[in-house]
Amino acid sequence: MFYRIILTIIFVFNVILRVGWLENQPSSMNFDEAALGYNAYSLLKTSRDEYGNFMPLSLRSFNDFKPALYAYLSIPVIKILGLNQTSTRLVSALAGVVALIPLFWFIRYFVKQKWLAIFFWFIISLEPWRLHYSRTAFESNLSACFFAWGAWYLFESIIAKKIPVKKLLMSIVSMVLAIYSYHGARLAVPILIFLTIIDPIEWFIVKRFNLTKKIFWSTGLTIVIVGILSLPIFLENGNLILTRLKQENLIARYSPFAPTELIESMKFDVARLAASGYYFGSMVSGRLLSSFSPVNLTSRIYHWVKGSDQYIPQFGLLGWLEGILLVIGIVVILRELDYKKYRFLVYWIVAGSAPAAMTWTWFHPLRALNIMPALEMVAIIGSITIFYKSIYKWVGVFVAGLWVLQIIFVINNELGYSNVEIHGEYQPGGFKEGIPLLEKLQKNYDQILIDSPHAQSYIFFLFYQAYPPEEIQKYASIRPQPGIGGDLSFDFDKYIFTKYDWPNQKDYKKTLWWVIGEVKESEIYRETGTNIYRIGNAVRDHEATIITKD
Amino acid sequence: MIWYVLMIFVWISWLVVGWKINYPPTIEQLNLIMINVWFMRIVSLLCICLSLFFLSKVVKVQGKWLVLVLSISPVVWGLWMCHPIICLEWLVIAFLIWNWQKAGYGWRWIVFILGIVLAFNLWQTKERSPFFYQLSLRDAQRQVIERLSAEDGLRDKVSMPLFIRRISYNKFYFLFKNVIQEVIKYPDLETWFFGETHPLQQKALPLFLWPVVFLFGLGLIITRKSTIEWRVYVVFLVLGFFHFITSGGEIWIRFSMTMWILALIISEAVRSSYKKWIIWPVYLISFYGLALWQNDILKRPDYWLDNRPLVFQFWYESLKNCDWKSATKIQVSSVVGDTSLYCRYYFGKSCDDRFMFSGFSWNEVKPDKGYYLGFAGEYVGSEIKNNIDRNWMSLTEGAGGQIIDKKIIRDNIAYGFGNEVAVVRKY
């Protein structure tokens, strides 16, 4: 009974930390969050996305064709709470909570002592990534949740003596939902199932190909079912769905891979091809391994992560202690590969890392989310080794104490501090604070000129004032077509996205300007009928300026 | 037989690469002894060879494969080319480890050996290890105050009770945080195995070529059946880690002793798999990678190695080709460090009081007659964003200078002064 009470307390504590204060921590939305929220709102109101596509499986959004499941799941929440930051983030927050259940089952399987298992569950449930990614609307967090459920049922299926059909079905459903939630799972799911069936490590170690008919048919069937169920995504938009892959793939950006000076000095095409192949191999395997490189997971922050919504100040994805325990765990697992349970973790990590291997960024936290539960299990296995094998029990107690302190730091960091550092380009401030004022003012003006350095900033004007979706759908034909990069803003209604140029624009009548940053107020006040409103954000008193001229 | 063939092939190729690049002496080499750099390199090479000999004695069966694995590493080549003190450190430590093993693995030996490592690290570089910077309670206290102020200054925030914040926002916890953040930089797969395509393009020689990472993974699996005493693994790991946290300077130098434990694990994989055809592609790609990397460094020594000695070499060798003996003043820039040792290396006793070693700015102080060896920005004025005027040569000539020689360097080693260096005569 006491055990259950403690479990419930931990669970409720996790719910509070994920669901609480979503409106102001993180203080403002990034553009992907706003797009998810607005499309969900659009689906709620019109059954169409912002482009007018009827019940799509992929949201065209910024021509990146986001999987639409997150938006569909957000519809009832938005219906109840209205379109705001909380309602947009709630699905991710709840996914973060629900993902704790398979995590507990995994921990319980690997840690035989129940109180120790509870302790690990408590610690791991508050990993920096679990808290951070649950508090922002990320489709990848939803996908990671489904993936973890699918992995658990798959795991249960393969360790059972008799394959449980119900659990296999549960695994299929969860995996398909993961596929419908995020791009990465589309590759990770079939690879995980394939590796689990073939079990190449066992073949390598034990030198026998242990593929029984029963396993072959059941898991083969799983792949086929998963394939068929995910087919609609690919059929819906044909090659447009591959747009995202085209934007992000490694080949387009780095070809011919080898250093130019090296390639240029080679006389024969064959030599150039071989050199390119060699460096391509390095890039792919490096990206694959980067997803579980301890330094990436704990401390190294790449410049493409810093300032983005994925950035967790002071951390990678895991806590610092877990970085050390992860190394120990990796060594233990690699030495114990005779056991199916450890091999499964290896397959999970390889499958989850595979999508990242073909993208241009070396290490991308969002694409690593699917493997995080597996890595956490590896860290737990590392810590069990310390707990059981250390000569002095106080070492274990000491590590546990440090872990609890780390958790307190993580909570402070996420709820208290992260706003200080994440107001970069991707988490722009000023829109949330200024748009309500803009809404009040705009009816008196004929045009609204917006000068914003933020990419796709139009979405904030749609999101924060819950702009009628049926109106915005009318502009679908004039919006930039898929494959076009850069700023995707477009003029709609009174809104015109243009550069602020007061000397040439000062004669405009009935105009409102939205300018990010400082303006020369004395110049503006020289004109009659002008007014200036300074807009702050979480970290600064002045982030944007609204200028009105009658 | 195959081992001997490979060893001969690998070492000859490294010698040829070193000879062809003819990299100038490093400060470390000049600080030690002011004689021909190749003499120093041969001595360093002997130290490395002897250390490999002792290491092979420690691990016995895997010994020859350990030697081969280390031999194909670019870092080992870089050590004997540039860092004689580390080569000596390798020799001394390998010798001590061998004796430790012969003495029956006593733990007191290890304390002594770690002391020697620390002494070498303090000798080798004047740069303090980043780890030591983290050991300051005063800095930790400052960070706590900064963090609390930053949180309190937020206009939109979740207010946590101060006593909860204080549990982890105190100088002791921050000290722990700073230390552990430094410690967890150690297991760095990118720097260990992906130096050729490192995502941060950090200036460091690759510890191992990337295909070797697969042998490392295989080695980790196989170590459970290892015949090597487990204490050897532990001590190699401790040595690598201790060297990393106590040394400063370039990242590949900090990881240089980590190569022992990595090579030990890799050699396990090689020993148990070299007869299996399925692994052969990995070996073939590794040796192909070696040839490719050697080709690369021949083309781009300035990309992989420290540019400063190359700049100093350029200045002094260009000066040698001029009528420098008649000059009354030769000013050599110190923007990237004091070059007086290089002056004595290239000019011997002729490096007299006519040579001045300090930065100069023709814009601010009117130059005297003589030779000026410096960066473009020193002739026409530095620029905070390194955007030196493209016409700096004509501007310099307009100011009465004659450009004797100039060279473009790859990296911004003197940010603000441009990427071109020159030897200019002022009439």
Of A278, A416, A536, the CB nearest to B288: A278
% of chain A surpassing 90 pLDDT? 52
Find, in chain A, the residue whose alpha carbon is nearest to that of B218.
Answer: A334
Interchain CB distance below 8 Å, A295 and B184:
yes
Closest CA to A18 of A77, A93, A91: A93
CA distance A236 to A389: 55
Token pair in block for residue A455? 């990419």
| pLDDT of B414 strictly over 80 | no
The residue to which tokens 């207010």 are assigned: B159
Strand pairing partners for A522? none
Residue A164 has a pLDDT of 81
Residues of chain A in contact with residue B177, where contact means CB-CB under 8 angstroms, are 314, 320, 409
- Mean pLDDT (chain B, rounded): 89
Q: Which of A29, A420, A537 to mutate to test the interface with B (most CBs of B within 10 A)?
A: A420
Mean local confidence (pLDDT), B262-290: 90
Interchain CB distance below 8 Å, B158 and A416:
yes
Find, in chain B, the residue whose alpha carbon is nearest to that of A283.
Answer: B197
Residues of chain B in contact with residue A536, where contact means CB-CB under 8 angstroms, are 155
Chain B (276-315) residues lying within 8 Å, Cβ to Cβ, of chain A: 285, 288-289, 292, 295-296, 299-300, 303
Residues of chain A in contact with residue B277, where contact means CB-CB under 8 angstroms, are none
CA distance B390 to B404: 18
The residue to which tokens 């982030």 are assigned: A543
Tell which wins on pLDDT, B344 or A386.
B344
Mean local confidence (pLDDT), A436-455: 90
Find, in chain A, the residue whose alpha carbon is nearest to that of B222.
Answer: A335
Residues of chain B in contact with residue A336, where contact means CB-CB under 8 angstroms, are 224
Interchain CB distance below 8 Å, A302 and B300:
no
The residue to which tokens 């042998």 are assigned: B215
Interchain CB distance below 8 Å, A286 and B194:
yes
Q: Which band of pLDDT confidence, cut at 50, 70 and 90, is reported for residue A351?
A: very high
CA dihedral A109, A115, A120, A123 (to 10 degrees): 150
- Say which residues have a Cβ less than 8 Å from residue A279's Cβ, sequence separation at least 6: A257, A258, A259, B196, B197
Q: How far is CA A110 from CA A464, A516, B90, in A?
A: 46, 52, 42
Mean local confidence (pLDDT), B164-177: 94
Residue A85 has a pLDDT of 95
**Interface size, chain A vs chain B, as Cβ–Cβ contacts under 8 Å:** 153
Mean local confidence (pLDDT), B377-397: 81
Residue B18 has a pLDDT of 94
Of B156, B167, B220, the CB nearest to A538: B156
Q: What is the pLDDT of residues A474-518, one digit of tens each?
A: 999 988 887 766 778 889 999 999 999 999 998 899 999 999 877
| DSSP for residue B61 | G
Q: Which band of pLDDT confidence, cut at 50, 70 and 90, is reported for residue A210?
A: low
Tell which wins on pLDDT, B24 or B156.
B24
Q: Does B188 lie at the interface with A, CB-CB under 8 angstroms?
A: yes
**pTM for the structure as a whole:** 0.89
Q: Which of B134, B170, B171, B197 to mutate to test the interface with A (most CBs of A within 10 A)?
A: B197
User: Rounded to a whole number, what is the distance in Å from the CA of A131 to chain B's nearest CA?
Assistant: 15
User: Rounded to a whole number, what is the distance in Å from the CA of B233 to chain A's nearest CA?
Assistant: 13
CA A17, A22, A27, A31 torsion: positive or negative? positive
Q: What is the pLDDT of residues B396-405, one digit of tens each?
A: 888 788 888 8
Interchain CB distance below 8 Å, B168 and A261:
no
Half-sphere exposure (Cβ direction) of A368: Cα atoms closer than 13 Å: 26
Tell which wins on pLDDT, B310 or A218.
B310
Chain B (134-163) residues lying within 8 Å, Cβ to Cβ, of chain A: 147, 150-151, 153-158, 160
Considering A217-221, A222-226, B129-133, the range whose residues carry the highest mean pLDDT is: B129-133
**Interaxial angle between packed helices A114-125 and A372-389, expressed in degrees from 0 to 180 and rounded to the nearest 10:** 130
Query: Which of A104-113, A170-179, B83-92, B381-390 comes out lowest in average pLDDT?
Result: B381-390
Token pair in block for residue A408? 């307190």
| pLDDT of A410 strictly over 90 | yes
Mean local confidence (pLDDT), B14-20: 94
| pLDDT of A240 strictly over 70 | no
Contact A134, A20 (CB under 8 A): no
Residue A369 has a pLDDT of 92
Q: What is the pLDDT of residues A60-84, one digit of tens each?
A: 998 888 899 999 999 999 999 999 9
Q: Does B213 lie at the interface with A, CB-CB under 8 angstroms?
A: yes
Residue A267 has a pLDDT of 82
Give phi and psi for A146, each to the nearest 5.
Answer: -65, -40
Residue B406 has a pLDDT of 86
Of A299, A327, A335, the CB nearest to B224: A335
Mean local confidence (pLDDT), B373-387: 83
Residues of chain A in contact with residue B178, where contact means CB-CB under 8 angstroms, are none
Q: Which band of pLDDT confidence, cut at 50, 70 and 90, is reported for residue B123?
A: confident
Interchain CB distance below 8 Å, B157 and A261:
no
Closest CA to B415 of B376, B378, B386, B374: B386
Contact A182, A69 (CB under 8 A): no
Interchain CB distance below 8 Å, B184 and A320:
yes
Of B156, B158, B213, the CB nearest to A285: B213
B126-137 per-residue burial string, b: 16 or more CB within 10 A, e: under 16: eeebebeebeee
Closest CA to B289 of A391, A274, A328, A120: A274
User: Rounded to a whole number, what is the distance in Å from the CA of B301 to chain A's nearest CA?
Assistant: 12
Residues of chain A in contact with residue B164, where contact means CB-CB under 8 angstroms, are 408, 412
Residue A84 has a pLDDT of 95
Q: Which band of pLDDT confidence, cut at 50, 70 and 90, is reported for residue B259?
A: very high
User: Rounded to a whole number, what is the distance in Å from the CA of A292 to chain B's nearest CA?
Assistant: 9
The residue to which tokens 């994920």 are assigned: A18
Q: Does B225 lie at the interface with A, CB-CB under 8 angstroms?
A: no
Residue A426 has a pLDDT of 67
Give phi and psi for A293, each to the nearest 5.
Answer: -75, 120
Q: Which band of pLDDT confidence, cut at 50, 70 and 90, is reported for residue A519?
A: confident
Of B200, B220, B300, the CB nearest to A331: B220
> ipTM value of the model?
0.89
Mean local confidence (pLDDT), B265-290: 89
Chain B (366-405) residues lying within 8 Å, Cβ to Cβ, of chain A: none
| pLDDT of B347 strictly over 90 | no
Interchain CB distance below 8 Å, A282 and B188:
no
Find, in chain A, the residue whose alpha carbon is nearest to that of B169.
Answer: A409
Residues of chain A in contact with residue B160, where contact means CB-CB under 8 angstroms, are 411-412, 415-416
Residues of chain B in contact with residue A301, where contact means CB-CB under 8 angstroms, are none
Q: Which band of pLDDT confidence, cut at 50, 70 and 90, is reported for residue B118?
A: very high
CA distance A374 to A367: 14
Q: What is the pLDDT of residues A7-65, one digit of tens each?
A: 999 999 999 999 999 998 888 888 999 999 999 999 999 999 999 999 999 899 988 88
Q: Which band of pLDDT confidence, cut at 50, 70 and 90, is reported for residue B35?
A: confident
Residues of chain A in contact with residue B200, where contact means CB-CB under 8 angstroms, are 302
